[in-house]
Structure 1
Amino acid sequence: MRAIVQTEFGGPEVLRMTEVERPTPSSGEVLVRVKAAAVNPVDVAVRAGLLPLLGEPPFTVGWDISGVVEEVGPGARYRVGEEVYGMPFFPRAAGGYAEYVTSPSRQLARKPATLDHVQAAALPLAVLTAWQGLVDLARVGEGQRVLIHRAAGGVGHLAVQIAKLRGAYVIALASEPKHAFLKELGADELIDYRTTDYTQAVEDVDVVFDSSSEGTRALEVLKPGGTLVSIMEHGNRELAAAIEAAGRRFAGVSVEPDYASLETIATLVDEGLIRPHVAETFPLAEAGRAHELVGSGTVQGKVVLTVD
């Protein structure tokens, strides 16, 4: 099969199409014929050697996939031909930028019926990050005030929708050209972080969803008893101690595969309550170009690779 393999750390040019052996599913696993694979900032960081999740090259990056079950191992929960999506094995290697991927069957869910594979591949890592932070940890509810950093990005635009779905008043931080997009997604209040210091414009927030390493600045807007959800500094014990000492709660999110939540999310998608935004697609062979775009930090929504 074809896969994108890198043999060294470096820029997007290290991503090269290579012929490799097709994997075989073990017990409880399925082999998925990948139709689309999303590109996330974590992929870019791993490729560049900034985040040592996969050790030394050679390896294939990528986790978000959507595709069709091609082969079923003993005890797996799907049948050949079913359409599935998910983020297998994260943070260990999944080899998502490839024609075929094996996955434990319980790390995948049935693809939302109303989405094509490109749209479905855009969801897993980003939507689970937002869901696990806002729903599982912060337990966002009716009438709460939720501040979302990088609200137009891959995780952020889904966090806006989830918080709104839970009945929250959503305050979105993003550059002004992205405000109309966020308004359509349900954001109640929009702040251009480039021209406005949000700590001077916002107060009495119940939950800060931080994807930009803001650290203790959250204390300037969080009400007593409020929660900082951090996806970039989930392992920062000093930050956690400072937040707790100030009478607020720290919730660090290290996203993990979760088929049950993906199934719930698929239902919400099919009901028209959550939708991913795909900014651009590239063929698998042009993974390097996709990494350049995601690495620019300007993407509204997600970037996805198509696999023929």
Structure 2
Amino acid sequence: MTDPDTLPITEGERPERDAARTIWLERFGDLDVLHLQDRPVPQPVDDEVLVRVRAASINPVDWKIAAGQYPPKPADQLPFALGRDLAGTIEAVGTRAHNMLSHGDRVFAFIGQDRGAQSDYVVVRATELVAMPGNMDFESAAAIPLAAMTAWQGLLVHGGLQAGQRVLIHGAAGGVGHLAVQIARWKGATVFATAGTDDLDYVRSIGADTVIDYKNERFEDVATELDLVFDTQGGETQARSFGCIRPGGCLVSTLEPDEQAAAEHGVRVPPRWHAEPNAAQLGEIAKLLEAGTLRVEVARSFPIEEFDAAYRFARDGHPRGKVVLTLD
């Protein structure tokens, strides 16, 4: 006998589309390997919900996955859809989600690696999604989850940032960096930040105490005796950062940390980590967005049909903030 709790249901209206337009990857390579394909609309079971995606953001991990440079997505998992964060409306719910959500609710989410968010319809687990802040539109909300969760988990979970500490945030005008500056400021830290010449005033405006023009200044001459460095750049930037950190301090990298250099400088580095979906943490971020304490910068949005231009702009254009795909 079939377990009734695992049967998919479609509470609410019939999906607006018979198929889901999806950014689809069948082989690794440059951006020309990405295609927009019609895929079957998935069905939710148990505590899952089907979300009609209104906007989904592009993150560096997306083009790294496409190039085969992201170890958690090996070739034996091909083909698959891309994208990790989205904003949209509840279209249908599984049998165990009735008491939590209903058709038409506006939600945003950071989803697991087993699904792709850049699609008209995505199945989202109840442990991944949160109600959208009432003061946000879909494009802004879609730009939040992965970047904000990376900043939150990097600074607060892995870095243990506390009020009164000194933190340096690299790439402070980028998608993760501009949210990291605001979270660190909210936490009560003294914030040093690196940015390009054109972004200095912007980074000051979102709460950095000291902004360093990485093209014309050496950050290690300005940011010293740090408790924490949040590294989004790797390479030479990471190598030079160790000398800025006090003994016993910490460097958290979104890339591969140099454990040998850390040991030589008496600095703690968490092992390689990846941001993980966490609805409780995303809920805290939603409260900060609702209060206006945190705000997201959308550099530009593109309709999903222009995904190739969107990906190239996100990868090569050095945008301030996030790039978003719209699916209405």
TM over 0.5: yes
1:217 pairs, out of 219, 240, 259, with: 240
- C-alpha distance in structure 2 between counterparts of 1:266 and 1:146, whole Å: 23
The amino acid of 2:155's aligned partner reads L
Bigger mean CA offset, 240-249 vs 171-180: 240-249
Query: 1:111: how far off?
Result: 0.9
Residues 157-196 of structure 1: pairs in structure 2 closer than 5 A = 157-196=178-217
In structure 2, what is the Cα distance between the partners aligned to 1:180 and 1:93? Answer: 39
Distance 1:129 1:297, change over 3 A: farther
Provide the rounded CA distance (Å) in 2 between the counterparts of 1:221 and 1:297.
29
Q: How far apart, in 1, do the equivalents of 2:48 and 2:73 lie?
A: 21
Segment of structure 1 superposing worse, 98-107 or 72-81: 72-81
Q: 1: distance between equivalents of 2:147 and 2:323? A: 12
Specify the code of the residue in structure 2 equivalent to 1:83: R
Superposed CA offset, 1:135-179 (max 9, x none): 222232222111000110000000000001111111110111101
Residue type at the aligned position of 1:290: A
Counterpart contact for 1:30–1:102, Cα < 8 Å: yes
CA distance in 1, matches of 2:135, 2:311: 27
- Partner residue in 2 for 1:198: 219
CA contact (8 A) 1:61 1:93 kept: no
Q: Match for 1:148: what amino acid?
A: I
1:259 to 279, 283, 303: 279
* Greater mean alpha carbon deviation, residues 197-206 or residues 149-158: 197-206
What SS does the aligned partner of 1:249 have? coil
- How many Å apart are 1:302 and its aligned residue? 0.1
What secondary structure does 1:35 align onto?
strand
The corresponding residue for 2:103 is: 80
Q: Is residue 270 of structure 1 aligned with residue 302 of structure 2?
A: no
Do the aligned partners of 1:83 and 1:110 also contact (CA within 8 Å) in 2?
yes
2:72 to 53, 76, 85: 53
Match for residue 228 of structure 1 among 251, 256, 269: 251
Matched letter for residue 160 of structure 1:
V
- The AA in structure 2 aligned to 1:298 is H
8 Å contact kept, 1:210–1:230: yes
Aligned to 2:45, which of 26, 40, 43?
A: 26
The match for 1:5 is: 24
Q: Offset at 1:242?
A: 4.0
CA distance in 1, matches of 2:72, 2:86: 18
Size of the aligned set, in residue pairs, is 302
Verify the 8 A CA contact 1:4 1:285 in the aligned structure 2. Answer: no
SS state of the match for residue 274, structure 2?
coil
Of residues 30, 34, 41, the one that matches 1:15 is 34
Offset, 1:297: 5.5
Show structure 1 runs of 4+ deviating over 6 A.
none
1:279 aligns with 2:299: yes
* Secondary structure, counterpart of 1:26 in structure 2: coil
- Aligned to 2:269, the other structure's residue is in SS state strand
TM-score by length of 1: 0.93
Distance 1:7 1:244 in 2: 41
Percent of aligned pairs sharing the same letter: 40
CA–CA distance in 2 between the matches of 1:305 and 1:182? 24
Q: Which residue number in structure 2 is paired with residue 141 of structure 1?
A: 162
Point out the more displaced range, 273-282 or 4-13.
4-13
TM-score normalized by the length of structure 2: 0.88
1:89-112 Cα offsets, whole Å, 9 max, x none, are 1xx232111100001111111111
Q: Which protein has the larger Cα radius of gyration, Structure 1 or Structure 2?
A: 2
Which residue in the other structure is 2:315 paired with?
295
Moved more, 52-61 or 276-285: 52-61
Change (3 A) 1:219 1:54: closer
Q: Name stretches of at least 5 consecutive residues in structure 2 with no aligned partner.
A: 1-18
